[in-house]
Amino acid sequence: MTSPTVSQFAHLRTLKKRLPLLIALAGAVAVPVQADQQSVLEEVTVTAQKRQQSLQDVSVAVSAFSGDAIEKMGFEEGLDITQQVPNMNFFAIFGEASSPSVSLRGISLVNFSDSWESPVSIYVDDVYRGNPAGSAIQLFDLERVEVLRGPQGTLYGRNTTGGLVHYVSRKPTEDFAASASASFGSYAERIVEGMVSGPLSESVRGRVAVKSTQNDGWQTNTVTDEKLNDTDNFGYRAQLDFDLTDNGGLLLNVHGSSADQQSVGFAHMGYLESSEAGAATCSIPRIQAGQCTSASFAMTGAEAVNGHYDPEHVASGAAGGLGTTIDTFGSSATLNWDFDSFSLTSITAYEELDKFLQDDGDGTAVVYFDEQYAVDAEQYTQELRLNGSGENTTWVTGFYYYKDDRGLVTESPTTADWDALGLWHREWVALDTESWALFGQVEYDLNPELTLVSGLRYTDENRDFAQISGPSFYEPLTVSDDLSESATTGRLGLDWRPDEVTLAYASLSTGFKSGGFSGSYNASLQATRPVRSEDITNFELGIKTTLADRFRVNAAAFNYTIEGYQAQVFLTVADGSVITNAGDVTGTGAEIEVTAPITDNFEMIGGAGWLTTEFDSDQIFHVAGDNYTLDGNELPSAPEFTYNLMARYYMSLGGNGELVFQGDYAWQAEHFLQIENDPYSRQDAYGLANASVSWHSPSDRYSIEGFVKNLTDEQYFTYQNTLGSDWGYGVWGQPRTAGMRLNWKL
């Protein structure tokens, strides 16, 4: 692990200078107040080890946020938490609803195809989401969110190498409850959310929650003058909780969502000074400012104004527009039964997704690289789990089954221009996955201070793949193949509790992500061959403690090695992409999280992450007559240094309620957005600041909040892709937005 750079220390010094001022200002206007009602510094109970525990008692690197804290902090989307978790990043190639991808400790899904599963899994109410598209729409009315960093090769359904994010919804209540909120903001955004919960009989409780999000889109297509990246989403969840006996209960969950929107508009980049043969390559700043062109085709030039991009005005000449529709439906049945010495849990779940997406890679009025993707996916999961404990032991064991069937269609629209160029492409893919696993973990108390943790999981995977392509500008293909793999992974750790408020731990854990097949732009038989599994070994040291009975400090240091890292390397439009085990990766880092009640009415949450990653690869890739390797590269979306800070100040208004002031900031160092470490994909360091002020009634039954996100209107890319030797595109993060939110609860 390398030390922070000079620029990173400069940011820390600036933060250090401002911190006393913030505290002094808070103290100067401080009015005695009981801030517990609005505080976000609460003890969170998590199920990171498949049983209920305090966050401070779990010997795993976990960040957790309660549903109340999420609401108070103003997180509107499920992945807003990424700004408050060390070594966590998030990007979406086509928008959050259609293709969310999470990076933990630098490990992420280096692929844009719906044929792959992510090394950072998404779970909702203990149910794995094989395709995370659409999941973000359903993330509301939450009880908590848990982020587990590091390989999860023992207890969780899909063995993963990077970690997981688990969203847990609120359950039906014994007493009647209801709440509603409405938000109005920039770009005519309207968000309406509501919930009602309570008893239906002596032994049955119910809960229904809905959320609707609409806006006019923050981008305008300069070619058609139509809006892009608009939103029309709706999500729902209905639950019934049955008391079967005094010792058993059944929870039924039915949920779904729909999205109908225009896809995100790209920042189209040419790399050359002119379109003439032999033109010089532009400098990186000029390319990223939109001042250059391409020899492959004429760039519209409509996006760069006075030599600089305007993220809110992008060019797209895609035929038929850039529509995206996503429909999801799912259901689950969770049975819990308590016996004398153990408990039984059964989770049976079904999920389905239909997705259609269009994008425009070149941005020209002449169709050159316009695409359409369609996905029809169904999955079925079954988990059986036994939990128990003895005098010196706590244990869990179980069985997991996963079945996933996906149909994918990739095509480039046919027009007269396409026919003339001979570039039309169509591809059908069927991918079926079946997996099962046996797992167990035992925690044995060696003495009152030391606990030995040991876990093991056996996973068996089978995938069937079929592809038909053509007519196509690639060689027409008819391919049928299969892949069978298995792995034994687990964890060995030692927990030390020297006192009641301190947990120190050391662990060695392994994880496995099974291989697979590329589902789009397979230009040859070579491209359709399966990639093998990637395997991770991670060593970690951690400590969780409370200082001065007030300040909670959690820290961890880690070193991991990934063998056979899976990546999709996109060569060119003409050469397609290659899915491959790109090499081995080593990662070293550390992270710290601090929660600090500075005074009775001023509190802060802070975190920082350090990370270095490096490829060790001997593969040679051939692109446009040039050869390159990933050897020595760093992982994409893996900044070397990140930090986050949130401050909340509470001011009493006596019998008129309470005011809450909040500011938060998240900064990340420069990093690459492509696995190739293309110089055009280097994103400069940047920080995002948000601010809000809210009034709460004395009983907290009503509240009103005003907020601003991306306060300084920072311009940054969340993704970048080079599609040819002289052109590519980037995806912008959202600009500054502001709004007002009204909340009511019974």
Range list of β-strands (E), 216-322: 219-221, 227-228, 231-243, 248-262, 266-270, 304-305, 308-309, 313-314
Residue 131 lies in a domain: yes
Letter string b/e over residues 161-175, b meaning 16 or more CB atoms within 10 A of that residue's CB:
bbbbbbbbbbebeee
Q: What is the pLDDT, as a whole number, of residue 78?
A: 64
Q: What is the pLDDT, as a whole number, of residue 359?
A: 75
Q: What is the pLDDT, as a whole number, of residue 730?
A: 84
- pLDDT over 60 at 567, yes or no: yes
- pLDDT over 90 at 201, yes or no: yes
Q: What percent of the chain has pLDDT over 90?
A: 53
Per the model's pLDDT, the better-predicted residue between 595 and 365 turns out to be: 595
Each residue's pLDDT tens digit, 281-340: 888 888 888 788 887 766 554 455 555 678 888 877 665 567 788 999 999 999 999 998
Per the model's pLDDT, the better-predicted residue between 35 and 289 turns out to be: 289
Residue 151 lies in a domain: yes
Structure tokens at 511: 């994880």
Q: Are residues 321 and 308 part of one domain?
A: no
Q: What type of residue is 205?
A: R
User: What average pLDDT does the chain have?
Assistant: 85
Q: Is 500 exposed, middle or buried (0-12, 13-18, 19+ CB in 10 A)?
A: exposed
- pLDDT over 90 at 611, yes or no: yes
- pLDDT over 70 at 454, yes or no: yes
Lowest mean pLDDT among 391-400, 410-419, 589-598, 675-684: 410-419
Range of the domain at 549: 7-265+316-745
Structure tokens at 548: 């001065």
Q: Are residues 709 and 652 part of one domain?
A: yes
Q: Are residues 219 and 174 part of one domain?
A: yes
Q: What is the CATH number of the domain that holds 630?
A: 2.40.170.20
Please give the Cα distance from 261 to 183 (Å, whole number).
19
- The predicted model gives 106-111 an average pLDDT of 85
Q: Are residues 230 and 83 part of one domain?
A: yes
Per the model's pLDDT, the better-predicted residue between 11 and 196 turns out to be: 196
Q: What type of residue is 283?
A: S
Residue 2 lies in a domain: no
Each residue's pLDDT tens digit, 67-106: 888 888 888 776 678 889 999 988 766 655 566 778 999 9
Lowest mean pLDDT among 53-62, 615-624, 658-667: 615-624
Q: Are residues 280 and 217 part of one domain?
A: no
Q: Are residues 403 and 297 part of one domain?
A: no
Residue 295 makes CB contacts below 8 A (sequence gap 6+) with 272, 275, 276, 277, 279, 726
Q: What is the pLDDT, as a whole number, of residue 200?
A: 97
Q: What is the pLDDT, as a whole number, of residue 7?
A: 45
Q: Are residues 301 and 247 part of one domain?
A: no
Confidence of residue 438 (pLDDT cuts 50, 70, 90): very high
Q: Are residues 308 and 239 part of one domain?
A: no
- pLDDT over 70 at 8, yes or no: no
Residue 683 lies in a domain: yes
Q: What is the pLDDT, as a whole number, of residue 34?
A: 42
Q: 320: alpha, beta or left, given left = phi > 0 and alpha = psi -120 to 50? A: left
Q: What is the pLDDT, as a whole number, of residue 417?
A: 54
Per the model's pLDDT, the better-predicted residue between 521 and 272 turns out to be: 272
Question: How far are the Cα atoms of 95, 132, 505 from residue 494, in angstroms, in the given order?
Answer: 42, 34, 6
Per the model's pLDDT, the better-predicted residue between 231 and 1 turns out to be: 231
Residue 726 lies in a domain: yes
Q: What is the pLDDT, as a whole number, of residue 241?
A: 98
Please give the Cα distance from 195 to 181 (Å, whole number).
9
Q: Are residues 740 and 679 part of one domain?
A: yes
**Residue appearing with tokens 């240091």:** 557
Q: Are residues 645 and 598 part of one domain?
A: yes
Global pTM value: 0.91
Residue 1 lies in a domain: no
Per the model's pLDDT, the better-predicted residue between 129 and 132 turns out to be: 129
Q: Are residues 607 and 582 part of one domain?
A: yes
3-state SS track over 469-482: ECCCCCCCEEEEEE
Residue 723 makes CB contacts below 8 A (sequence gap 6+) with 361, 362, 369, 570, 572, 573, 729
Each residue's pLDDT tens digit, 628-683: 788 999 999 999 999 999 999 999 998 999 999 999 999 999 999 888 888 888 99
Tell me how far apart the 2 most distant CA atoms of the chain are, in Å: 80
Q: Are residues 237 and 273 part of one domain?
A: no
Lowest mean pLDDT among 11-25, 336-350, 417-431: 11-25
- pLDDT over 90 at 115, yes or no: no
Q: Domain total for the chain?
A: 2
**Do 148 and 119 contact (CB within 8 A), yes or no?**
no
Q: What is the pLDDT, as a whole number, of residue 51?
A: 87
Q: What is the pLDDT, as a whole number, of residue 20?
A: 41
Give the distance from CA 21 to its chain's centroid: 34
- pLDDT over 80 at 25, yes or no: no
